[in-house]
Amino acid sequence: MPDATRSLVELVDDFSSILANDPGPLAPDRQEYVHNLHGAGVEDQVALLERQIRLTRGGQLYYFSGMRGTGKSTELKRLELMLNGRPNTRAYVVDALDYISDTHELDTLDLLLVVAAAFAHRLSQDDALGEPQLDQEGPLKRFSTWLQSDVEIQGATVAGIKVDFKRQQQSIIQRIRAFDLARQERVMAECQAFITDMADAVRQKWKIEKVVLMVDSLERLRGVGSGAAQMFERIVKVFYGDERRLRVRDVQMVFSVPPYLPYLTNVKAFVQLFMLASVRVCQPPDVARRQPRPEGLDALETLVTKRFADWQRVLSRDALHKLCIHSGGDLRQLLRRLLASTLEHAAFLPPERLPLQAGDEVIQTVLDAHRVDFEDLVVQAEYPLLKSIAERNALELPERSDLPVLAHFFDLRAVLNYRNGKDWLDINPLLWPLIDSWTPPAPHASPAAGSA
């Protein structure tokens, strides 16, 4: 095999390997991180949230949201770094799904218990309170004793709490669901008090004023099958109906929440919400509907370049931008699906075929395959709602019974949200051909008056 050919084959394999080994949430100091991917200044939701936390004293509750694939976990790491760069603040990110599964039937008591446990485990690390606090009389030791005595989690310790929660998840649910109302109220209040006490210990050790706790991954909670509607109702009740219980004295709390929450509830009247949008690869609908937005395409090009600098030996710039547009600005759809599939094809092409051009049949084959996959995820009964969103770039639900359907759309990423000065919606570009060409059936004509 000639050296040039071997080099090109290895290049495609290297590119594929990078995409297959996704680094996950990125810290801002990582080479792959793209600054201002979602906008700068007042368009930067993380900068706005950081400013609000910085200006607010005492306890406060914030919600941070966005579609799956927009980079929320990465941006929470950035927020943590920004806050810890301030002399009077300590901020910590915990991942709720380290303690419960993504199908956990969440309620407010569960959430507060998980948050307290996650905070305790995080504080046992050396950059917080440290492991010695586990053996000394203090909030971490008291919390561990309380878990075993009051919540009756057998053998629970702060050091092993991730494993304990995962292993005993079902039995813990059954036990706390059996608590009477008064006991549930008491346990929730005790969870809040433990979080406050732990935060006070952080203040004393580090001689700081403000403690921020960020709880990630809650937007990934989902119901399965017939339990989907019930999960939706539980999430709405926790983050909308019970938001006051999520407030903790003297602690700034940030919860990741599902992206459908602000569209289906009046939650913004009670909680400050910061919403991460998909990368704006298209112009806003009132400017040039579904036309490419160069700044957004350039941002995604930068993202790809930071992961693999030699991508232009495999794809032309026009081909990459075509994939970017059809990703809808969704990072996962671009990197893990469209680009990864394109490279699978490229690995078996003759070298003279590369770099692939935008009009190459391989690009269209990849788009067609993923379009069919996406079309199979929606059913005809959902077409009218998708059509309405596509035409209005906004949400107008005809029936309250459609609420779980919309939540399902956001979970699938069949609907994406954007922000160009104002928030707007569109359906996923892979659904454009199907939904744009669909016309509602004509209503049945009523029998003529007087007919037999």
Say what the pLDDT of residue 145 is.
Answer: 87
Q: Does residue 63 lie in a domain region?
A: yes
Q: Does residue 114 lie in a domain region?
A: yes
Residues 33 and 92 in one domain: no
Residues 177 and 220 in one domain: yes
pLDDT above 90 covers what percent of the chain?
Answer: 58
Q: Does residue 449 lie in a domain region?
A: no
Q: pLDDT at residue 242 above 80?
A: yes
Going by C-alpha positions, the residue among 368, 427, 307, 428 that lies closest to residue 31 is: 307
Residues 27 and 57 in one domain: no
Residues 107 and 125 in one domain: yes
Break the chain down into helix, strand, coil percent, rounded to 5: 55, 10, 35
pLDDT above 70 covers what percent of the chain?
Answer: 93
pLDDT in tens, 287-337: 999 999 999 999 999 999 999 999 999 999 999 999 999 999 999 999 999
Q: Does residue 450 lie in a domain region?
A: no
For the chain, report the end-to-end CA distance as a whole number of angstroms: 83
Residues 230 and 348 in one domain: no
Residues 19 and 77 in one domain: no
The pLDDT-based confidence of 452 (bands split at 50, 70, 90) is: very low
pLDDT in tens, 199-230: 999 999 999 999 999 999 998 888 777 677 78
Two tokens, residue 368: 């067609």
Q: Does residue 382 lie in a domain region?
A: yes
Residues 321 and 185 in one domain: no
Of the residues 232, 261, 276, the one at which a domain ends: 276
Q: pLDDT at residue 171 above 80?
A: no
Which of 279-283, 322-326, 438-442 is predicted with the least confidence, judged by mean pLDDT?
Answer: 438-442
Say what the pLDDT of residue 1 is.
Answer: 44
Q: Is 26:219 a contact under the CB 8 Å cutoff?
A: no
Of the residues 245, 276, 307, the one at which a domain ends: 276
Say what the pLDDT of residue 217 is.
Answer: 92
Range of the domain at 304: 1-37+277-437
Say what the pLDDT of residue 104 is.
Answer: 84
Two tokens, residue 278: 């998909």
Residues 180 and 291 in one domain: no
The pLDDT-based confidence of 133 (bands split at 50, 70, 90) is: low
Q: What is the dihedral sign for C-alpha 244, 250, 251, 252?
A: positive
Say what the pLDDT of residue 169 is.
Answer: 74
Concatenate the DSSP letters of all residues of 76-121 into one string.
HHHHHHHHHTSTTEEEEEEEGGGTS-TT----HHHHHHHHHHHHHH
Which of 46-55, 151-160, 265-274 is predicted with the least confidence, judged by mean pLDDT?
Answer: 151-160
pLDDT in tens, 37-67: 888 888 899 999 999 999 998 899 999 998 8
Of the residues 239, 255, 276, the one at which a domain ends: 276
Domains contained in the chain, number: 2
Q: Does residue 163 lie in a domain region?
A: yes
Under 8 Å CB-to-CB from 337, ≥6 apart: which residues?
327, 370
Give the whole-angstrom CA distance, residue 381 versus residue 114: 38
Q: pLDDT at residue 155 above 70?
A: no
Q: Does residue 445 lie in a domain region?
A: no
Residues 299 and 345 in one domain: yes
Full-model pTM? 0.89
Q: Is 273:65 a contact under the CB 8 Å cutoff?
A: yes
Residues 345 and 411 in one domain: yes
Residues 22 and 50 in one domain: no
Q: Is 324:334 a contact under the CB 8 Å cutoff?
A: yes
Q: Of residues 282 and 225, which shows the higher confidence score?
A: 282
Going by C-alpha positions, the residue among 103, 98, 79, 102 that lies closest to residue 90 is: 79
Residues 236 and 98 in one domain: yes
The pLDDT-based confidence of 346 (bands split at 50, 70, 90) is: very high
Q: Does residue 13 lie in a domain region?
A: yes
Two tokens, residue 25: 């949430």
pLDDT in tens, 402-431: 777 888 888 889 999 998 667 899 999 999
CATH number of the structural domain spanning residue 189:
3.40.50
Q: pLDDT at residue 446 above 60?
A: no
Q: pLDDT at residue 286 above 60?
A: yes
